[in-house]
Amino acid sequence: MAGLLDELLVILHGIWNRRWLALAVAWGVCMLGWLAVALIPNSYESRARVYVNTQSLLEDKIGITQMQSQQDLDRLRQTLASAENLEKVVRGTDLSQGIAGPRDLAAKIAALRENISIMAQADPSMIDISAISADSSVSDGANARIAQQVVQKMIDIFQEANLTSDRTETKQSLAFLDQQIGQRGKQLAAAEQRRAEFEQRFIGLLPGAGSIGQRMDAARQEIGNIDSQLVQAQSALSAMNGQLAGTPQSLPGVGASGGPSALAQAQADLASMRSRGWTSDHPDVIAMQRQVDALRKQGGGAAGAGGTPNPAWLSLKSMQAERAATVQALHARKAQLQADLNVMTSRQTNEPGIAAEQEKLARDYDVLKTQYDKLLSDREEIRLRGEVKTETGAVQFRVLAPPSAPTAPIAPNRPVLLIGVLVLGIGAGVGVAFAIGQLKGTFPTAARLERVAGIPVIGSIGQTLNAGQAVIEKQRLKWFAGASGGLAAVCLLLIAVEFIQRGMA
């Protein structure tokens, strides 16, 4: 431990003997360092915070989701730093001073793009806008003012783009859709004209509406439906025939004297039915009318001999006739459809060109009609969305924190740099003195000389100063202390000047 202390003392003694060299190096390094720090321009930053609310009561009703609104806001935020918007910022602030041509403008825009920051917070509705101005050609006050102007101009552009972008985009979209609708409308009218001319020329060959393939499919489908209805009608008719076969046509009567009473009873029943509001088309009324007519023809005698006609048989007979007529009508409709189907099949076989042309005309018309309807629907949807975004205040924009007026530079931290240069200069001076002491071949102690020479050293003589030399040495110590203190004083003076400049800015 004692050896290490001796070595430390030896090193310090060597540095002290070369203190003037160390002080000169420290002064040189500090002056160069402080000059470099002074040449670094001050950077002033202005910040602002805006609030953008994209929620709307009507957006979800018309299909605009919250995610789509947020995507629109993100896209607007990303395009805010475009070259066009930055050019507006340059021309609308003090940055426009000193622009001599397009090259200077491009340089200003490039520098401005590096110094602008648009950041979204944890809440996507909160957006921070900041700008830094560090132009060495202008004063600190001008840099602070430019930073604030840039942020204010960015807010103005953001608000303007927020209010007008949706309206402009809607107008452009509607104009494009109107153009497309006009073109599709002309094409659709031409297709309708071609189809009408074709139908006029071949109306006798291909009767009916729609293409021949569509009509054939519809005919086959209707024939299938008629077959199922026909099966049901035939089953119902068979059941009615069986029931009619088991029902007697007449009931046992009371003899010849019963005829007039049977006719009177039948007429009374018929009158009762009509009094209940039954029309002549009702099956029971028809059956009873037939019974009355039959009794009148018999004159009462035959009825008395053969008995009274059975009303149930007459009703079943009427229902049998109706079901038989239904079966006959279904057979007739099926035969008609089958005949039309056979005609269309023969036309398609004998004249395939006409059928193919009709298919093509129908297909072209359907495609154009679908596109036309889709364009009309899209136009109405875009119009409604544009009205919701622009007329109902779907986006609320507020400036929560206006652009700040910077009073102190954010960079560089000049006081810390000045002190750091002072420490670096002192360290450089001490290091140079130490290095030179190590390079010179002197022996600061007798023990080190004895180790190197390998022979014993009897003794050493210390330095002695007379009265005149002591006075001179004290004077030199005062000069050294003054020079060292001056170095520290210059550092403090530079720090004071820095704070004074900040206050003036």
pLDDT (tens digit, 9 = 90+) per residue, 344-374? 777 666 555 666 676 777 778 888 888 888 8
Tens-place pLDDT, residues 386-425: 665 555 544 567 888 899 988 888 888 889 999 999 999 9
Tens-place pLDDT, residues 86-123: 898 998 898 888 788 888 889 889 888 889 988 877 77
Tens-place pLDDT, residues 287-330: 888 888 887 776 544 444 445 667 777 788 888 888 888 888 88
The rounded distance, in Å, linking the Cα atoms of 384 and 381 is 5
The rounded distance, in Å, linking the Cα atoms of 489 and 482 is 10
Query: Per the structure block, which two tokens stand in for 56?
Result: 């709307």
Tens-place pLDDT, residues 272-281: 777 677 778 7
Q: What is the largest CA-CA distance in the chain?
A: 188
Domain annotation covers residue 319: yes
DSSP 347-385: HHHH-HHHHHHHHHHHHHHHHHHHHHHHHHHHHHHHHHH
| Long-range contacts (CB closer than 8 Å, 24 or more residues apart) made by 243-249 | 243/316, 244/313, 244/316, 244/317, 244/320, 247/310, 247/312, 247/313, 247/316, 248/310, 248/313, 249/309, 249/310, 249/313
Q: Supply the pLDDT for residue 46.
A: 93
Q: At what angle do helices 352-391 and 311-350 cross, to 10 degrees?
A: 100
CA angle (384, 387, 393) in 5-degree steps: 135
245 with 328, same domain? yes
86 with 25, same domain? no
Q: If you ran DSSP here, which 8-state letter would residue 398 be given?
A: E
Mean pLDDT (whole number) for 37-50? 90
pLDDT at residue 486 is higher than 90 = yes
Phi, then psi, of 36 in degrees rounded to 5: -65, -40
36 with 49, same domain? no
Q: Supply the pLDDT for residue 57.
A: 38
Query: Per the structure block, which two tokens stand in for 295?
Result: 């009794």
Buried b (16+ CB within 10 A) or exposed e, 135-152: beebebebbbbbbbbbbb
Domain annotation covers residue 187: no
171 with 222, same domain? no
The rounded distance, in Å, linking the Cα atoms of 39 and 136 is 8
Length of the chain: 505
Higher pLDDT, 284 or 45: 45
221 with 364, same domain? yes
Domain annotation covers residue 248: yes
Domain annotation covers residue 202: no
The rounded distance, in Å, linking the Cα atoms of 200 and 183 is 26
Domain annotation covers residue 185: no
Q: Supply the pLDDT for residue 190.
A: 86
Phi, then psi, of 447 in degrees rounded to 5: -65, -40
237 with 313, same domain? yes
Range of the domain at 297: 212-369
Q: Supply the pLDDT for residue 403.
A: 92
pLDDT at residue 175 is higher than 60 = yes
Helical segments of 202-282, H only: 212-245, 258-275
171 with 318, same domain? no
Higher pLDDT, 194 or 428: 428
226 with 137, same domain? no
Express as a percent the part of the chain with pLDDT over 90: 15
Query: Per the structure block, which two tokens stand in for 69?
Result: 């609104």
Q: Supply the pLDDT for residue 80.
A: 77
Domain annotation covers residue 184: no
Q: Supply the pLDDT for residue 430.
A: 93
Helical segments of 283-310, H only: 283-298, 301-306
Domain annotation covers residue 22: yes
Question: Tokens 């056979």 appear where?
Answer: 342
Q: Residue 52: enclosing H or E segment and its boundaries?
A: strand 44-53
264 with 363, same domain? yes
pLDDT at residue 492 is higher than 90 = yes
Give the chain's mean pLDDT.
78
Q: Supply the pLDDT for residue 213.
A: 65
Tens-place pLDDT, residues 176-187: 888 888 888 888
Tens-place pLDDT, residues 52-79: 765 543 344 444 455 555 565 666 666 7
Tens-place pLDDT, residues 8-34: 877 787 788 889 999 999 999 999 999
End-to-end, the C-alpha distance of the chain in Å comes to 56
User: Measured in whole angstroms, how far is the alpha carbon of residue 344 from the centre of its chain?
Assistant: 53
Least confident stretch, 192-201, 238-247, 327-336: 192-201
Q: Residue 159: enclosing H or E segment and its boundaries?
A: helix 140-201
Query: Per the structure block, which two tokens stand in for 122?
Result: 């944890």
3-state secondary structure of 281: coil
Residues 121 and 128 sit within 8 Å (Cβ to Cβ): yes
CATH of residue 86: 3.30.70.1130
Domain annotation covers residue 189: no
350 with 438, same domain? no
Beta bridge partners of 398: 51
309 with 397, same domain? no
pLDDT at residue 468 is higher than 50 = yes
230 with 281, same domain? yes
Query: Per the structure block, which two tokens stand in for 314?
Result: 């007459």
Q: Supply the pLDDT for residue 22.
A: 93
Total of domains in the chain: 3
Tens-place pLDDT, residues 227-283: 889 889 888 888 888 787 767 776 655 444 444 456 667 777 777 777 677 778 777
Query: Per the structure block, which two tokens stand in for 91?
Result: 């021309």
